[in-house]
Structure 1
């Protein structure tokens, strides 16, 4: 069951992210009622994620500027080399603070800041990845009253990240990529 009061979605992924996100993001309509804020671990050079997904998706896809207001019907990818945070006024903040678990952008940083801002209105999605970034942030979402969906580690390209999230968040929902896509597509239509 998804919360009727959902206000935003945050997604974290690493190894295997392009394939996983390709099963989810194209299913979101241009009029999707929520913002989707994503951290993917990428090298510090231009990633091409925005161009790749803009060509596949009906929903707007962009790399945000610092202090940019977060809008519904838009996917925001963290720029390579920057932490991306959600401020209390629901704007994007970009930071060059130290890497977390060797990653900048960090999934934990995004998830924790978004949990502080959106509370029970936040849906977190943990996808494939080969380290434990996102587990602490997923717990922060649960602690704030939000919902966490985790890709089934048995079918993930890299299972470390989903397993770490589930270990920290036993109440998270473990779902296939198709089931995650279905649930996210239904948010706002209930």
Structure 2
């Protein structure tokens, strides 16, 4: 199913407790990006409200040869708290955890995070496949996976795992992707629920987490 939600109302920066369910419909959002990922992640995360009710985990393909400043940069561009993931740290609502360079990121059933230097997948570490498969295993139908701009096919196997366990999948559309390899590979699996332009993905995530469906569904 492919659809486009309405563009968010810029004045609605909070999720009203009188309008939203008692608890979120989903428990975790997992995003991946590669080429032009900083721009894509900035647009998606900055569109989320400051009281976003679930945790977010991110795999961005990064050079293993240099420390990453991505968490610090995104922390300045969003109302959410963004930090580089550490071994054993715990997920919490409204916080964004980014895989560090040269480490796969995994989520555990108790809500903690693990880092691994097992072999590269699609020639990259961190890889979306590893993250998405751990999310599928432990969060099942309570997970949302999002594939943003990037080359190659990282994430395509992972979105199949997410979908098999009942979760939902969003992919960035071709027109707004700097490189369409990753979204295209995800879409080719037949497991993507919505293909959306970049400026609509943040609002779509919020609608799904809070209401369980998109506004025009």
TM-score for both structures, normalised by structure 2: 0.83
Match of 2:30 in 1: 10
Match of 1:131 among 152, 159, 163: 152
Change (3 A) 1:171 1:30: closer
Q: Which aligned segments of 4 or more residues in structure 1 are displaced greater than 2 angstroms? A: 169-172, 185-190
Deviation per CA, 1:41-77, whole angstroms, max 9, x where unpaired?
A: 0101212101100111111100121011111110010
Q: Unmatched 5+ residue regions in structure 1?
A: none
Match of 1:114 in 2: 135
1:26 correspondence with 2:49: no
Match of 2:198 among 166, 177, 182: 177
Bigger CA radius of gyration: 2
Contact 1:150/1:165 (<8 A) preserved: yes
Distance in 2, Cα, partners of 1:125 & 1:73: 17
Q: Count how many residue pairs are aligned between Structure 1 and Structure 2.
A: 189
Match of 1:47 among 68, 85, 107: 68
TM-align CA RMSD: 1.6
TM-score for both structures, normalised by structure 1: 0.94
Match of 1:158 among 160, 167, 179: 179
Deviation per CA, 1:132-180, whole angstroms, max 9, x where unpaired?
A: 0000001110001000000002321001101100011344211111221
